[in-house]
Structure 1
Amino acid sequence: MGSYLSSSPAAEYESQSTDESNVIAVHSKDRFDEQFQAHKDNNKTLIIDFSASWCGPCRMIEPTFKALSAKFSQAIFVKVDVDELPEVSRQWRVEAMPTFVIVKDGKEISRIIGAKKDELERKIQMFSS
């Protein structure tokens, strides 16, 4: 389990950008709640990747998700391991992996189930501004 030195969600977001990825991996419900609140406070689109380490399609689409996070820097990209944070997965009604949930103004506006690269990119482009 990773830990962060930063207490600020924005600083954590910036710290992820050095490897051409702006994906924030959250490892606790409190961290997820902080990221969700940061999304609401700054009015950015939030893209949540619900995945599992044992999931082949999740591992296959991970490089695409990271690349999209660099391409669409105006959005916040968060990764949640469903086994590590089952309460967050239940809260968002995740039943299959990977599931990508796109959130705007604190509300789900779109959901992609499965490793559908083209659909994921199209919807991120459509909803992030």
Structure 2
Amino acid sequence: MGSFFSTPAASRSDEGESAVIAIHSADRFNEQFQASKDSNKLMVIDFSASWCGPCRFIEPAFKALAAKFTDAVFVKIDVDELSEVSRKWRVEAMPTFVLVKGGQEVSRVVGAKKDELERKIHMFST
């Protein structure tokens, strides 16, 4: 049975999914936020929705950025699942990427703008 379960895990890591943390509860988000704040690492929050075409379009690029910028923490939040977290961060359009460092928002990218997102991650992760 071990080989049956190892294959999906290997294919997930090959796609870079393991570098993006999917958050499904406000408590889990708060834990991740506090850990990022304590470590002073850049946290990149992807606010998206399953029904959002541009969100699906940029998802592979977001995963690739997470694999490239290993010194930053990448999290994904579904705005419908965690509407209270989305409201707290004033998310009004999808996708919205919020860059947080030291517990404070340092930048934001609204829309599927891969190049702008990569430039800002590079700027704040160093």
Q: Which residue of 2 aligns with 1:51?
A: 48
Q: Which residue of 2 aligns with 1:76?
A: 73
TM-score, normalising length from structure 2?
Answer: 0.87
Q: Could you tell me how far 1:18 is from its partner in structure 2? A: 3.1
Q: Which residue of 1 aligns with 2:95?
A: 98
TM-score, normalising length from structure 1?
Answer: 0.85
Number of aligned positions between the proteins: 113
Q: 1:1-129 residue pairs with structure 2 within 5 A?
A: 18-19=13-14, 20-21=16-17, 22-129=19-126
Q: Could you tell me how far 1:43 is from its partner in structure 2? A: 1.1
Whole-Å separation in 1 of the counterparts to 2:38 and 2:108: 22
Name the % identity. Answer: 73
Q: Could you tell me how far 1:101 is from its partner in structure 2? A: 0.2
| Structure 2 SS opposite 1:62 | helix
**Counting helix residues as a fraction of each chain, which structure ranks higher?**
2
Which runs of 5 or more structure 2 residues have no equivalent in the other structure?
1-11
Whole-Å separation in 1 of the counterparts to 2:38 and 2:83: 25
Which has the higher Rg, Structure 1 or Structure 2?
2
Whole-Å separation in 1 of the counterparts to 2:106 and 2:74: 15
| Structure 1 SS opposite 2:109 | strand
CA RMSD of aligned residues (A): 1.1
Deviations 1:49-71 (A, max 9, x none): 00000000000000000000000
Which runs of 5 or more structure 1 residues have no equivalent in the other structure?
1-16
